[in-house]
């Protein structure tokens, strides 16, 4: 086997409980985002553009749809002879099989996979975030500082800081402490959940962590604090650019709305950093005679006869005459009839909205969610309460 | 099921080409059409959707773009171990042989036919854009006990583009095929799709060449209508014959009819093409788009009406595009007006320009032109 300098381990087992009905039959990384993508497309594309050609994808909850989607990694150029993408579900071993108990345990159970490539460094990422990042720049930084572990950090707004795992750093960007979602934050440098470990050190700590019966086998709670206590060199790499966790209904909706800005901070049109995804094979979109489409993203296979404003339409969506869709995220293959009104909503894929139905309200503070495949009739009158 | 019984042949030898600048650097088969496709996508997809797993593409001239587009055939699921896609460029000793007819080129590549397993062969061209299930053609072929089945299209309206007319008797047997686009009055046009036993094709190839004749239709079929049982299968879907500029433009405009859009690309089977990974189309707050087909990767800040935009076209603020076809990565800068035009790939229209053609003679701009 060809030796790899760095391989990636992508944690894609997230249940995405906070996405409610959208993740009922779907792992969180497989949730749709941005008109044609799924969340995991961003991290996979980042890997490929950063020159990483070996990616282990760790799956656990609702893997069926995700596995089908990932296939052998062809859409991302990860169907390679040496390396490429490997899906790593929990498996039966001699001593019996276990679920991945925590993030660190998931990597622990796949030590033999990593060892096949004999890497110097291991990149640990999760398939839950939307961002474009060159991991190679982070690796160069990691080598330059000579750290044992480099954690990517992102400066968040102080008012949001308490939602994140926060890092304290000294003047040299060495990490001096951690706070997990504190009530009163004393730092606004959030961990992005992007780690580069020296493999030798990581392996040692994975084995030690596994032997510790009291551990919850989590990177943030157990393994990284243990490394810090032992005086290993932990360094922060500050990332500048767009980064967003889309783990809640509100943040998923907001993340999609971010793309509609005049000059969006996340540029999907950059030919040098294309976000790859599985091609749905649909004809180009048809905009009808009476249609009005403004400040929106519309994908292939859509057939629009109504009015669309500040919305993100995935592929194969149909919108009938007289219908109005404002500030909504419409997932693939949703059929919207005539004279329908949809405001501030997320419509799950394959849903059917019959003529004259009303979903959400223009000034609602709550984002209305229609579950995957739901059939909505006019008399349902959904006004922002589930 | 008739799966795996038919060998597909995409015949690009001497394909009619009056597409002017659109075929300056490419063959007819790779002319972009329908906002994100190339003409050959329809032929290949129809074959694949009909259970044809082995396809030979007889390349002829200017096939660089063809090789680039079809690659290993993966986009059409034609990349597998047992069969798949074969691109067969001309095997010629000297340049003059290049101008010989399709039968000569079939003969030169006869190994392709002899090695393949299917019993039947279906020969099709790239400029007949339609969505058709060839399994039904084979079924008809077997029912009629035909030697050769020719797929025809019925229409009382004049056909855009150049197509041979055919005449059939009441039993559906073809009694006359028009040569070189004459003045025959008939509702039936020949879609240049021929189904026959591979054995018969090989026989026609050898006997015709022995007589110094090397054109499939004119020599091998046309002259044998008395001896062979040649039947016409009538295809009832949409047909676009795309081999002249006027037919390219007229047929593109026909795609703007919702029922054509709904059927041509999807029924009975989906049309596949090479994947480009563009983001969804972006509409600004000032965008006005009516009755148009827009591909992914487009950015629309101006006005677009009755037009077809290929992938990555950018219509700037204040620019107007009407009744036009703008191919990949075209850029229309602010305050320019484009009407009745066909732009090949990468055309840039500077600010404040007026580009106007008429529907009977659209303005045609070649690849990478800057106006």
Decide if A325 contacts A319 (C-beta within 8 A): yes
Q: Which of A285, A292, A303, A318 to mutate to test the interface with B (most CBs of B within 10 A)?
A: A285
Residue B1 neighbours by CB distance under 10 Å: 6
- Place B335 in a pLDDT band, splitting at 50, 70 and 90: very high
Mark yes or no for CB contact B296/A300 under 8 Å. yes
pLDDT in tens, B49-77: 999 999 999 999 999 999 999 998 989 99
pLDDT in tens, B87-124: 999 998 888 888 898 999 999 999 999 999 899 999 99
pTM equals 0.91
Residues of B with CB under 8 A from a CB of A: 34-36, 258, 261-262, 265-266, 270-272, 275, 277, 279-297, 299, 308-310
Q: Which of B35, B283, B308 to mutate to test the interface with A (most CBs of A within 10 A)?
A: B283
Is some CB atom of chain B closer than 8 A to the CB atom of A262? yes
**Can you state the percent helix, strand and coil of chain B, rounding each to 5?**
25, 30, 45
- The confidence score (pLDDT) of residue A384 equals 46
Instruction: Describe the crossing of helices A39-49 and A63-70 by its angle, rounded to 10 degrees.
Output: 40
Mean pLDDT in chain A?
90
Mark yes or no for CB contact B293/A297 under 8 Å. no
- Decide if pLDDT at B13 tops 60: yes
- Decide if pLDDT at A197 tops 80: yes
- Mean pLDDT value of segment A49-74: 90
- Decide if pLDDT at B2 tops 70: no
Instruction: Select the residue of A275, A289, A296 nearest B283 (Cβ to Cβ).
Output: A296
- The confidence score (pLDDT) of residue B180 equals 62
Q: How many percent of chain B have pLDDT more than 90?
A: 76
Of B233, B227, B159, nearest to B193 (Cα)?
B233
- The confidence score (pLDDT) of residue A377 equals 87
User: How would you classify the pairing of strands A352-353 and A375-376?
Assistant: parallel
Is some CB atom of chain B closer than 8 A to the CB atom of A277? yes
pLDDT in tens, B14-25: 888 889 999 999
CA–CA dist A31, A38 (Å, integer):
5
- Decide if pLDDT at A385 tops 50: no
- The confidence score (pLDDT) of residue A102 equals 86
Mark yes or no for CB contact B282/A262 under 8 Å. no
- Does this complex have an ipTM over 0.85? yes
- Place A383 in a pLDDT band, splitting at 50, 70 and 90: low
Buried b (16+ CB within 10 A) or exposed e, A247-266: bbbebbbebbbebbeeebeb
- Please list every residue in chain A whose beta carbon sits closer than 8 Å to the beta carbon of residue B291: 287-289
- Decide if pLDDT at B3 tops 70: no
Mark yes or no for CB contact A275/B283 under 8 Å. no
- Please list every residue in chain B whose beta carbon sits closer than 8 Å to the beta carbon of residue A313: 280
Range name among A84-88, A98-102, A365-369, B296-300 with the lowest pLDDT average: A98-102
- Place B240 in a pLDDT band, splitting at 50, 70 and 90: very high
- Mean pLDDT value of segment B350-363: 93
CA–CA dist B198, B18 (Å, integer):
31
Mark yes or no for CB contact A287/B289 under 8 Å. yes
């Amino acid at each position: 086997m060809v030796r790899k300098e760095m391989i990636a381990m992508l944690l894609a087992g997230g249940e995405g409980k906070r996405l409610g009905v959208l993740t009922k039959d779907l792992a969180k990384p497989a949730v749709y985002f941005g008109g044609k993508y799924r969340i995991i497309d961003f991290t996979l594309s980042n890997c490929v553009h950063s020159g990483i050609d070996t990616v282990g994808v760790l799956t656990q909850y609702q893997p069926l749809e995700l596995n089908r989607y990932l296939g052998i990694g062809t859409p991302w150029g990860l169907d390679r002879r040496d390396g490429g993408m490997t899906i790593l579900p929990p498996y039966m071993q001699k001593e019996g099989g276990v679920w991945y108990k925590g993030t660190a345990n998931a990597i622990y159970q796949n030590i033999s996979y990593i060892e096949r490539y004999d890497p110097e460094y291991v990149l640990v990422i999760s398939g839950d975030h939307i961002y474009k990042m060159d991991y190679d720049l982070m690796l160069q930084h990691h080598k330059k500082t000579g750290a044992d572990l480099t954690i990517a950090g992102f400066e968040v707004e102080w008012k949001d800081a308490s939602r994140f795992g926060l890092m304290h750093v000294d003047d040299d960007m060495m990490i001096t402490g951690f706070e997990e979602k504190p009530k009163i934050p004393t730092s606004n440098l959030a961990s992005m959940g992007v780690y580069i470990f020296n493999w030798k050190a990581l392996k040692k700590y994975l084995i030690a962590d596994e032997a510790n019966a009291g551990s919850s086998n989590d990177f943030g709670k157990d393994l990284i604090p243990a490394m810090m206590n032992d005086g290993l060199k932990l360094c922060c790499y500050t990332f500048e650019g767009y980064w967003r966790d889309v783990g809640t209904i509100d943040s998923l909706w907001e993340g999609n709305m971010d793309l509609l800005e005049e000059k969006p901070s996340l540029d999907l049109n950059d030919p040098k950093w294309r976000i790859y995804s599985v091609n749905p094979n649909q004809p180009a979109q048809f905009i009808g005679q009476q249609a009005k489409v403004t400040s929106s993203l519309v994908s292939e296979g859509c057939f629009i006869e109504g009015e669309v404003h500040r919305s993100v339409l995935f592929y194969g969506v149909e919108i009938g005459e007289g219908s109005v869709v404002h500030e909504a995220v419409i997932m693939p293959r949703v059929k919207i009839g005539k004279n329908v009104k949809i405001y501030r909503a997320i419509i799950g894929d394959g849903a059917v909205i019959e003529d004259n139905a009303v979903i959400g309200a223009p000034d609602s503070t709550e984002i209305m969610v229609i579950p995957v495949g739901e059939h909505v009739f006019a008399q349902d009158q959904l006004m922002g309460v589930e | 099921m008739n799966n795996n019984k038919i060998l597909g042949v995409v015949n690009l030898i001497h394909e009619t080409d009056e597409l002017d600048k659109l075929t300056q650097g490419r063959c007819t088969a790779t002319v972009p059409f329908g906002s994100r496709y190339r003409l050959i996508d329809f032929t290949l997809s129809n074959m694949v959707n009909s259970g044809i797993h082995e396809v030979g593409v007889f390349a002829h001239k200017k096939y660089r773009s063809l090789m680039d587009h079809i690659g290993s055939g993966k986009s059409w699921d034609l990349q597998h171990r047992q069969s798949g896609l074969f691109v067969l460029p001309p095997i010629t000793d000297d340049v003059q042989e290049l101008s010989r007819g399709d039968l000569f080129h079939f003969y030169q590549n006869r190994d392709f036919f002899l090695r393949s397993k299917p019993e039947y062969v279906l020969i099709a061209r790239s400029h007949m854009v339609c969505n058709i299930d060839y399994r039904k053609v084979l079924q008809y072929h077997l029912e009629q006990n035909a030697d050769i089945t020719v797929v025809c299209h019925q229409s009382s309206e004049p056909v855009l583009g150049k197509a041979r007319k055919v005449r059939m008797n009441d039993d559906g047997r073809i009694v006359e095929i028009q040569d070189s686009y004459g003045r025959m009055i008939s509702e039936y046009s020949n879609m240049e799709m021929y189904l026959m036993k591979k054995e018969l094709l090989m026989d026609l190839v050898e006997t015709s060449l022995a007589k110094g004749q090397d054109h499939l239709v004119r020599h091998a079929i046309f002259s044998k209508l008395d001896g062979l049982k040649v039947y016409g299968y009538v295809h009832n879907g949409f047909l676009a014959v795309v081999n002249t500029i006027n037919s390219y433009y007229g047929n593109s405009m026909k795609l703007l009819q919702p029922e054509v859009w709904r059927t041509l690309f999807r029924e009975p089977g989906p049309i596949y093409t090479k994947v480009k990974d563009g983001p969804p189309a972006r509409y600004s707050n000032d965008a006005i788009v009516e009755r148009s087909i827009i591909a992914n990767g487009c950015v629309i800040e101006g006005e677009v009406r009755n037009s077809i935009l290929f992938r990555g076209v950018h219509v700037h603020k204040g620019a107007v595009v009407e009744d036009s076809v703008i191919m990949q990565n075209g850029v229309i800068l602010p305050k320019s007006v484009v009407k009745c035009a066909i732009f090949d790939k990468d055309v840039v229209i500077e600010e404040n320009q007026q580009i106007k053609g008429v529907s009977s003679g659209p303005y045609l701009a070649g690849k990478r032109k800057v106006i």
